[in-house]
């Protein structure tokens, strides 16, 4: 038995060391979560306008075109739960904050906890590792990049290149705006409709009981702003007509109701740009996300119509 244990250790130890080295490499590689955390640690006290929410705001509003001293603290699939955590994490340092721009979209009120989302659960790892969200233990599966092997594997080669040559590309600019979406050269309505059909099914509410949970986080954010004299600007970003026409009416009614309750109870401002006819064709990356061109246009409109920031 003792000999077996020795052989097991002999063969397993190199694998453990390789896994540990890979984990360290990937953690060291910059990403939007680590970048935004480090940026806020250094500059939170200078932020006057903070952008928060999921991908619809991450790829839609360009901070340096919106207003001075703006920063985009959103990320893909960022739920209100995580917006609330980040506000509390930096609350003591947000001494200059005047405006909070928060997205209200067709899925945010209906999202399950991220741990329950098959396509997004691994993002909990990033909030644990890079933004210090202590919802989960550091020794749980949410404390290791390796826990999500497909994403770990994709990062490994770029992380090694970064370790050797210092070359890294993250999917946001210096003020947090998502840069992964460019501007298409032409508009393909058939491809857009196909992608929209798939996304609509992903966004469709499957458990109405989740609304209460997300509503509570949204109202906490709204109350936080009201108590500190911060203007809360809620926006629904533009969507392609082939996308928004398929959103269920009940789902839209709940979305608008929650936004209106924030207006009535907490003095928020709400603007729905979902059906804005000024956005067409190459303004969209896909059915519910703007392209770079669309983001530039939307940022100008937001600045002109909802300013001054």
CATH number at residue 274: 3.40.50.1110
| Contact status, residue 284 vs residue 292, Cβ threshold 8 Å | no
| Total tally of structural domains belonging to the chain | 1
Give the pLDDT confidence score for residue 152 in this predicted structure.
94
Residues 6+ apart with CB under 8 A from 283: 238, 290, 291, 293, 294, 297
Residue 40 contacts residue 90 (beta carbons within 8 Å): yes
Residue 89 lies in a domain: yes
**Which position has the token pair 């209906």?**
110
Per-residue model confidence (pLDDT) at position 307: 78
Torsion of CA 34, 288, 118, 144, to 10 degrees: -10
Q: What's the rounded Cα separation, in Å, for the pair 208 and 198?
A: 21
For residue 214, count CB atoms less than 10 angstroms from its CB and return exposed for 0-12, middle for 13-18, buried for 19 or more.
buried
Predicted pLDDT of residue 29: 95
Asked if the structure places residue 241 within a domain, the reply is yes
pTM for the complete prediction?
Answer: 0.94
Is there a domain that residue 269 lies in?
yes
pLDDT (0 to 100) of residue 13:
65
Q: For the chain of 309 residues, list the mean pLDDT of each consecutive stretch of 10.
A: 57 74 92 97 98 98 96 97 98 97 94 93 98 96 96 93 88 97 92 91 90 97 98 98 94 97 98 97 96 98 88
CA dihedral 192, 198, 180, 170 (to 10 degrees): -170
Burial tier of 215 (Cβ tally within 10 Å: 0-12, 13-18, 19+): middle
283 domain-assigned = yes
Is residue 38 a part of any domain in this protein? no
**Which domain covers residue 107, as residue numbers?**
45-147+173-306
Q: Which two tokens stand for residue 46?
A: 């200078």
Q: How many Å apart are CA 281 and CA 189, to the nearest integer?
A: 8
Residue 9 within any structural domain of the chain: no
Q: Quick check: is 12 in a domain?
A: no
Residue 245 falls inside a structural domain = yes
The answer to whether 244 and 296 have CB atoms below 8 angstroms apart is no
Q: Give 140's DSSP letter.
A: S
């Amino acid at each position: 038995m003792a000999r077996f244990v020795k052989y097991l250790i002999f063969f397993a130890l190199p694998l453990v060391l390789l896994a540990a080295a890979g984990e360290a490499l990937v953690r060291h590689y910059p990403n939007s979560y680590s970048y935004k955390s480090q940026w806020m640690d250094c500059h939170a006290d200078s932020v006057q306008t903070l952008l928060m929410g999921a991908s619809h705001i991450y790829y839609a509003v360009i901070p340096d075109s919106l207003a001075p001293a703006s920063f985009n603290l959103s990320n893909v699939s960022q739920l209100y739960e995580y917006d609330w955590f980040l506000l509390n994490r930096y609350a003591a340092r947000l001494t200059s904050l005047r405006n909070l721009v928060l997205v209200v979209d067709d899925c945010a009120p209906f999202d399950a906890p991220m741990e329950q989302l098959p396509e997004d659960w691994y993002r909990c790892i990033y909030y644990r590792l890079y933004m210090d969200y202590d919802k989960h233990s550091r020794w749980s599966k949410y404390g290791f990049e390796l826990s999500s092997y497909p994403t770990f594997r994709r990062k490994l080669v770029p992380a090694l290149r970064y370790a050797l040559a210092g070359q890294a590309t993250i999917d946001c600019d210096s003020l947090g705006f998502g840069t992964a979406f460019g501007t298409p050269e032409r508009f393909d309505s058939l491809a857009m409709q196909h992608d929209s059909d798939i996304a609509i099914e992903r966004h469709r509410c499957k458990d109405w009981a989740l609304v209460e949970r997300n509503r509570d986080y949204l109202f906490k954010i709204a109350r936080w702003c009201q108590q500190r004299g911060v203007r809360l600007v809620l926006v629904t970003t533009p969507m392609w007509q082939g996308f928004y026409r398929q959103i269920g009416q009940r789902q839209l009614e709940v979305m608008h109701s929650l936004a209106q309750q924030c207006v009535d109870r907490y003095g928020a401002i709400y603007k729905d740009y979902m059906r804005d006819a000024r956005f067409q064709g190459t303004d969209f990356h896909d059915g519910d996300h703007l392209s770079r061109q669309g983001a530039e246009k939307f940022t100008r409109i937001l600045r002109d119509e909802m300013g001054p920031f």
